[in-house]
Amino acid sequence: MLKLPQSSTDRKHFVIVGALVFVATIALGFFLLAILPVKAQYSVQAEPIRWLFQLHVWLIAFLFALVVVFMLYALIVFRKRKDDDSEGEHFEGNTTLEVVWTVIPLILVIIFSFIGFQTLRDATRGGDEVQVEAVGFQWAWTFNYPNGVVSQEMVLPVNKPALISLRATDVIHSFWVVEWGPKQDLVPGMTTRMHITPTKVGEFKVRCAELCGLSHWSMVATVRVVPEEEYIAWMNQKLVEQNIQTASR
Amino acid sequence: MQLTSLGLVRGIIGYFVGLVVGMAVVMISRLALGMSAWDQEAGWVGGIIFATIGFMLAVGSMTDWLKWTRGVETPFHHGPPVGKPAWTRYFSVDYNHKVIGIQYGVTGFLLLLIGGSFALVFRAELADSGISFLQPGTYNTFLSMHAWVALASILLGVGGMANYLVPLMIGAEDMAFPRLNAFAYWINVPAIITLMISMLFGWDSGWTAYPPLSLRGPVGYQMVFWAIFSIGLSSILGSLNLIVTMLTMRPKGMTLFRMPIFCWAILATSIIQLTATQLIGLAFLMLSFERTLGMPFFNPLYNALGENIGGQPLLFQHLFWFYSHPAVYVFVLPGLGIISELLPVFARKPLFGYRWIALSSLAIALVGFLVWGHHMFTSGYGEYLRVVFMISTLLVAVPTGVKFFSWLGTLWGGRLTFPTPMLFTLGAISVFLIGGLSGPILATAATDLFLHDSYFVVGHFHATIFGGFVFPFFAAIYYWYPKITGRMYNEMLGKIHFWLMTPGFWVMSLAQMTAGTMGMRRRIADYDPALGVEPVHMLITIAGFVIAFSILLMIYNLFTSAEVGALAGNNPWRSRSPEWQIPSPVPEHSYAQPIAVVGEPYDYGLAGSTYVAMAGAGDD
């Protein structure tokens, strides 16, 4: 059985706690990654988001372990024993420590501000090889393509940078395809934009993420990401269906 | 005793008389202007304004002021009302800060139960996918009501702790302005009635009430706007009173840095409340005016050329969050103050870094004014603003970190005991840690673009509020219960309450965050089982009901212990704070003689030191 030192400032305490914090950080990090499965994974813009999220998780695991291990250790080691009526050790603070735990978080904040800025840039930029306008209204979506095609589902070619213009006609809505990552509000009176480069073929859902009234929960439309040939074929078929002259593009 | 001798009963009668009078005034005015008599928007707004005034007049909260205008003297009456049972003073206007503190606290607790019950209703609905008993319209109303009722309960709970404790802690006879204090409490009551009436009509925007949605929905919105305006007025007046009390009524020897640390938290809170609440009051009045009078503040309107000659929806979001973000610190700073207040007592050690903790509250309050835009990362405002608000938001971590580390320093080397208040204090730290650490994920804008308006935000927010308010509030109730009632609560029941509620909350909180990362949106009446979130929702619902059950145990405990609990004595916790040096329950005049401060507040373990000299007061 480990014999713990009496004095609270003995180095032995901190060695033990340090080791426990290390173990707890690893365990907690993997636990959090397991219970927080970030489902944003099928677009170029989702990558930096997932990366930053996981970086956060490890920092959180460390800070959570640090505080909780220190706390639990103190609760056990410094609990009042049965026949001990003495008071706790008398120290009122330590300015060096306070400065240290002000400055280190400040440095972390600066680092994360920089990383956050870069990640934000990567998660919001892209090209406009494909353009589509998504119009949200209570409680459905319509998608307008520049060539005049109007669709109830959104179809995009895979791996092509798309610029989605967003417009609301009544109240505020928000455009969110979980698998793509970022979301963007649609605000009456202005046009907002988002860049998405889908990287996986498949059928997804765009769901309204801003409470917009009675049927907000069911304001859902289908989003299909298809190979480029299929996209062209679909577009041509729509042009014919909707009787649009290709020349007018 | 006649029922109408209770101020509350008279107030409610006054409310409904005022409602009818107000509606009649509007109808007559409309007829005089040649319009149809009844317009529900204008009718209800007029009705609510008159009803609120009617309540405040009838309850008697303005009686003394009205007498002053006629030059009538109004001597201060101390003690229970003459010729009525003592309990009646809690249902009428009373100027004693301890009575007002209890009124605030009990009303806040009741609202917590009501707001929590609303959550249970829709948690039951969300336990599995598919709409089972709550139709989307009703769901939206319950969800929106849950938010505002719970937020009102927090504001009142904070008011309860501040009003009861601050004058006691600084040895003051009462608050600086006792009549204003009573007014600030009572204005909440008609507001709550108005808020409840809104349920009859429904409203569906969530507490944020973003236009244009809030400009289109049912007339229930008008009631929400005016109810929140009144509750905001209460915040402003109450915080003014607290600031003046703390700055001018401290005893000899109590410098600012010798105040009990809870007072620092309330000082920081009051500064926010005094200066930020106007913004939400204004924003909600603008919504009401836009609905009632057609003033074009927020809803875009186009002329024939397609130019916007109307309003801008994002303007509202700025106004709203300019209050509502700092408001979160109003909710949590007092709770963090409670943690700092209780830890030294149960560690038998000085508070580690008193000045750092005191100033970190102010720092959080000040930085809190600079971060509102992080609620708008996806809103479509200028993209560079995302960077500005990301940095300012991350800065909040610094003073918050100071608090956490200083708490650890307080525990380190102590002689720790774990009665229920201490358990809830430690639970608060653990829960607030979950809330705090999930914050930076939402602060860095890129990750927020994914998680905004998802259940991750729900998890983060509830963890900060439970860790920053609910747990410390419960700790405070258990801790000061013997001082208020003179009897101890039941320790065994208190511990069961803690061991049900705390793990229950951890599970609920983490499960909400899990659902968020899986793509679960906030505020939806039903969800797509294809997301795979159904088991997670079941878990959240079960955890929610466990928490609710544990709170029932607390209520049972508090009720029964008031009769059968062991007598507490003056100072069961061996605290140095002045309120524990006087009898329990606290006498009508708390301190028979003015007290003097002769030492530091938290010098536990320093032989021969005392904090206050009682000058002959408080002998049992």
pLDDT digits (tens, 9 = 90+) for B266-283: 999 999 999 999 999 999
Give the pLDDT confidence of B396-434 residue by residue, as tens digits.
Answer: 999 999 999 999 999 999 999 999 999 999 999 999 999
Give the pLDDT confidence of B35-48 residue by residue, as tens digits.
Answer: 999 999 999 999 99
- Give the residues across from B612 on adjacent strands: B597
Tell me the chain A residues in contact with residue B386 when contact means C-beta distances shorter than 8 Å.
120
pLDDT at B620 (0 to 100): 40
Give the pLDDT confidence of B286-319 residue by residue, as tens digits.
Answer: 999 999 999 999 999 888 888 888 899 999 999 9
Stretch 493-532 of chain B: residues touching chain A, C-beta under 8 Å: 510, 513-514, 517-519, 521-528, 531
pLDDT band per the 50, 70, 90 thresholds, residue A7: confident
pLDDT at B619 (0 to 100): 44
* Closest chain A residue to B442, measured at CA: A53
pLDDT at A246 (0 to 100): 60
For chain B, which residues make up each domain, given as ranges?
94-301+308-613
Q: Do B440 and A217 touch (CB under 8 A)?
A: no
pLDDT at B308 (0 to 100): 84
pLDDT at B560 over 80: yes
Does any CB of chain A come closer than 8 Å to the CB of residue B350? Answer: yes
Identify the residue whose tokens are 């970086």: A55
Give the pLDDT confidence of B211-248 residue by residue, as tens digits.
Answer: 999 999 899 999 999 999 999 999 999 999 999 999 99
Give the pLDDT confidence of B353-370 residue by residue, as tens digits.
Answer: 999 999 999 999 999 999
Chain B interface, mutation test: which of A217, A218, A222, most B Cβ atoms within 10 Å?
A217
Contacts of A9 (CB under 8 A, 6+ apart): B413
Q: Do A112 and B440 touch (CB under 8 A)?
A: yes
Q: Residue B437, Cα to own-chain centre: how many angstroms?
A: 22
From the list A67, A109, A119, which residue is nearest B397 (CB)? A109
ipTM: 0.95
From the list B351, B429, B446, which residue is nearest A123 (CB)? B446
| Joined tokens for residue B77 | 């009456």
- What is the arithmetic mean of pLDDT over A63-70? 97
- What is the arithmetic mean of pLDDT over B525-553? 96
pLDDT band per the 50, 70, 90 thresholds, residue A91: confident
**Poorest-confidence range of A79-93, A152-166, B29-43?**
A79-93
Does any CB of chain A come closer than 8 Å to the CB of residue B318? Answer: no
Q: How close B586 comes to chain A (CA, Å)? A: 27
Q: Among B141, B116, B150, B206, which residue's Cα sits nearest to residue B522?
A: B206
CB neighbour burial string for A159-191, b if at least 16 within 10 angstroms, e if fewer: bbbbbbbbbbebbbbbbbbbbbbbbbbbbbbbe
pLDDT at A249 over 50: no
Tell me the chain B residues in contact with residue A35 when contact means C-beta distances shorter than 8 Å.
510, 513-514
Question: Residue B552: exposed, middle, or buried by beta-carbon count in 10 A (0-12, 13-18, 19+)?
Answer: exposed
pLDDT at A2 over 80: no
Architecture of domain B94-301+308-613 in CATH?
Up-down Bundle (1.20)
Q: Do B413 and A188 touch (CB under 8 A)?
A: no
Percent residues over pLDDT 90 in chain B: 92
CB distance A228 to A158 below 8 Å: yes
Q: A-B interface: how many C-beta pairs under 8 angstroms?
A: 290
Q: How close B172 comes to chain A (CA, Å)? A: 27
Q: Among B358, B357, B436, B435, which residue's Cα sits nearest to residue B394?
A: B436
- What is the arithmetic mean of pLDDT over A118-140? 96
Q: Residue B272, Cα to own-chain centre: how many angstroms?
A: 13
pLDDT at A104 (0 to 100): 95
Q: How close A60 comes to chain B (CA, Å)? A: 6
* Closest chain B residue to A90, measured at CA: B605
Q: Which of the two residues, A84 and B314, has the higher pLDDT score?
A: B314
pLDDT band per the 50, 70, 90 thresholds, residue A10: confident
Q: How close B542 comes to chain A (CA, Å)? A: 18
pLDDT at B70 (0 to 100): 95
Tell me the chain A residues in contact with residue B450 when contact means C-beta distances shorter than 8 Å.
38, 40, 46, 49, 53, 181-183
Q: Do B383 and A185 touch (CB under 8 A)?
A: no
Give the pLDDT confidence of B10-24 residue by residue, as tens digits.
Answer: 999 999 999 999 999
Mean pLDDT score of chain B: 95
Tell me the chain B residues in contact with residue A59 when contact means C-beta distances shorter than 8 Å.
440
Q: Give the whole-angstrom CA distance, residue B513 versus residue B510.
A: 5
- What is the arithmetic mean of pLDDT over B510-529? 96
Tell me the chain B residues in contact with residue A120 when contact means C-beta distances shorter than 8 Å.
386-387, 390, 444-446, 449
Q: Do A190 and B380 touch (CB under 8 A)?
A: yes
Give the pLDDT confidence of B153-181 residue by residue, as tens digits.
Answer: 999 999 999 999 999 999 999 999 999 99
Q: Among A59, A82, A217, which residue's Cα sits nearest to residue B401?
A: A59
Q: How close B482 comes to chain A (CA, Å)? A: 22
C-alpha separations of B448 from A1, A109, A122, B71, B132 in Å: 48, 17, 14, 60, 32
Q: Do A172 and B210 touch (CB under 8 A)?
A: yes
Does any CB of chain A come closer than 8 Å to the CB of residue B346? Answer: no
pLDDT at B615 (0 to 100): 67
Does any CB of chain A come closer than 8 Å to the CB of residue B210? Answer: yes
From the list A36, A109, A172, which residue is nearest B313 (CB)? A172
Phi, psi of A91, rounded to the nearest 5 degrees: -140, 135
From the list B217, B402, B415, which residue is nearest A101 (CB)? B402
* Closest chain B residue to A117, measured at CA: B387
